[in-house]
Amino acid sequence: MNGITNTTKQSADATNNGIFGNYSLGMDYDIDKTQAISGGVRYGIRSFQREQFQITELYNDNLLLNTSFRDIATTDASHNVDMNLDYIRIFKPQQEWSISTQYSRNDLVNDFVSNTLNSDGFLLNSLKNLNDNLNEEITLQTDYVTPISDNQSLELGAKGILRAVNSDFSYLFAEGGTTDYNPDFTRPSGTLDYQQNVVAAYSSYTYSTPSKYTFKAGLRWENTSISAEQDDAVIELPNYSNFVPSLNVSKSLKGFTTLKLGYNRRIQRPGLQQLNPNFNIANNQDVRVGNPNLEPELTDNVELGLSTMIKKTYINVSVFGRTTDNAINQVRTPIDSIQGAILTTFENIGKQRSLGTNWFTNIYLTDKWTVNGGFDVYYTFLEGQVGGENGTSVTIENSGLNFGGRLMSQLQLKKGWGLQAFTFVRGRQVQLQGINGGFGMYALGFRKNFTNNKGSIGFSAENFATRGWNVRTELESPQLTQTSNMLMLNRNLKVNLTYKFGKLTFADSRSKTRSVKNDDVIGGGDNMGGDAGDSAAPARGAGGRPTPGNTPKTTPQPSKEAAKDKKAKPEKEN
């Protein structure tokens, strides 16, 4: 305004420390030759601490107005438990009925203490944010599969998911050099109670021809009901119903070559990170808050893929196109009351289109040594509305190329020893208001199996020989321009210990029966302590936005036996 430029420069040094652990127990009981029950309990714990010293400088037309110093301690901790109980009844080959149940609970704490210091390092005031969250999910699913003839089969199923997300947050403030905290009335406390119930019914039909074509068509209907209260005030959120179709055609060619064309629709619902209305002001120049009014994304995906075996090398190549309506994206706007401060939240921005390719290769150099890796390249176009001047909104567009790749090698040695190397890179990611910088990592590790074959111990080191990765993020919209450079060291030393008691592990207990897999929530790991919610598996498909290291593959990679013996049959596709 009036030719005056306000500039904020901020620098920080941060140290992260974390402890992670998972414990599991499972059982598998065969009632008779046609019936089995399996169950399991898994408990996970995470404690992540960050210490950060931050310097903020405010300029007006290159004139330094103010310098502030902050010491910030952040806590990100969670305790999650998953319990499942599954039953299967086999009537005859390829005809079975199953019931799957799962209960998940995740207690999360995201707190921070921000101390404002003077230039001599003395405490001026302190702000504390207490943010407790609880996520619960109950799932009940039943499936029936039966052959219609030698080359036809039918699957029917129903599923219900009951979700509850609760957040309780408050701010405390201590004036002067004391730590005598009192409620901060300028930042009132708040709560969010969010209930989401999903009911789905689905079916799929599979038909195989003598010429080695396989057709699979699926249709899922689901209804989602939502009730939410923020600070005891009802949030009016509409219920909605969706039909979710899928169609996949595959052709088996000579050798181990398969060609596949598929269309799938996918629903992605907002997760805790996107919904939580707690204002995170650990960095008062970069304020972040969720949006409880978010609606789900709906993505249509078309993918053409080819997989083949060439001697001991497996190759999978696919091209895909995706269109997402109601896409959830980060949106940033200036905070008028704080010079240079930016508010980051989430909005259903509108359109997102992607077109790209995915390559994956697995090479069996020897019986003991494998190398696998792949890369993703895709072009993204986004269009949505953001804030303009004088409280108006404007439509902006952004597009660009995204890419990523990964490479892993594993070597089995004598006497139970094994070596592993891994590297990963993610290029810049296009967003509505700019780009997020890319980064990479590498790791070396080894593992030793115990002589009784009941467990192993492993050690690994990540990013141990370099000075870090400069992550440059550039954001631009009608109201703001922001450039961020972050030197990410991300050095880690990890110890992994596994041990099996009895004859079964948790994974074994889920092998004979179908089990719940929920993955319809964005950021599933922060929602229910695990995969967080696909409404109905038969119509699931690839869907979603591709991310390096977790991209859809048209067909599974073959077993080692298939790689060694070209007469062997490839693994059955899931």
Is residue 130 in some structural domain?
yes
Rounded to whole angstroms, the Cα distance separating 122 from 178 reads 11
Torsion angle (degrees, nearest 10) of CA 228, 169, 20, 516: -10
Is residue 238 in some structural domain?
no
The answer to whether the beta carbons of residues 51 and 15 sit under 8 Å apart is yes
Is residue 466 in some structural domain?
yes
- The neighbour count for residue 239, using CB atoms within 10 Å, is 10
- Please give the distance of CA 288 from its chain centroid, rounded to a whole number: 19
The domain in which residue 489 lies consists of 13-207+214-231+244-564
Is residue 222 in some structural domain?
yes
Burial class of residue 246 (count of CB atoms within 10 Å of its CB; 0-12, 13-18, 19+): buried
Mean pLDDT over the full length of the chain: 84
Is residue 522 in some structural domain?
yes
Per-residue pLDDT, 488:
79
Tokens of 527: 């929602």
Rounded to whole angstroms, the Cα distance separating 23 from 415 reads 26
Is residue 159 in some structural domain?
yes
Residue 460 vs residues 48, 387, 453, 493, 499: alpha-carbon distances, Å: 19, 46, 21, 6, 18
Backbone angles phi, psi at 81, to 5 degrees: -135, 135
| Element containing residue 561 per DSSP (H, E) | helix 560-564
Rounded to whole angstroms, the Cα distance separating 43 from 205 reads 37
Tokens of 424: 């990963």
Backbone angles phi, psi at 545, to 5 degrees: -90, 135
Flag whether pLDDT at 184 surpasses 70.
yes
How confident is the model over 319-368, as pLDDT tens digits? 999 999 889 988 888 887 777 788 899 999 888 999 999 999 999 999 89
Residues in Cβ contact with 187 at an 8 Å cutoff, skipping those fewer than 6 apart: 171, 279, 281
Rounded to whole angstroms, the Cα distance separating 422 from 424 reads 7
Is residue 40 in some structural domain?
yes
| Token pair 């960050």: residue | 50
78: domain CATH number is 2.40.170
Pairing assessment for the beta strands 342-364 and 286-288 based on DSSP bridges? parallel
Nearest of 10, 11, 4 to residue 60 by alpha carbon: 4
How confident is the model over 368-417, as pLDDT tens digits? 999 999 999 999 999 988 766 666 778 889 999 999 999 999 999 988 89
Residue 474 vs residues 87, 198, 437: alpha-carbon distances, Å: 52, 38, 8
Is residue 8 in some structural domain?
no
Looking at this protein, which amino acid is placed at residue 265? R
| Element containing residue 258 per DSSP (H, E) | strand 258-268
What does pTM read for this prediction? 0.80
208 — pLDDT class (breaks 50, 70, 90): very high
Tokens of 481: 């321009």
503 — pLDDT class (breaks 50, 70, 90): low
Rounded to whole angstroms, the Cα distance separating 4 from 394 reads 23
Q: What is the mean pLDDT of residues 167-179?
A: 86
Q: Strand (E) positions, 61-188?
A: 63-92, 95-117, 123-149, 152-175, 182-183
Most confident of 149-153, 483-487, 545-549: 149-153
How confident is the model over 245-298, as pLDDT tens digits? 999 999 999 878 999 999 999 999 998 889 989 888 888 888 899 999 999 999
Q: Count of domains in the chain?
A: 1
Question: By three-state DSSP, how is residue 252 classified?
Answer: strand
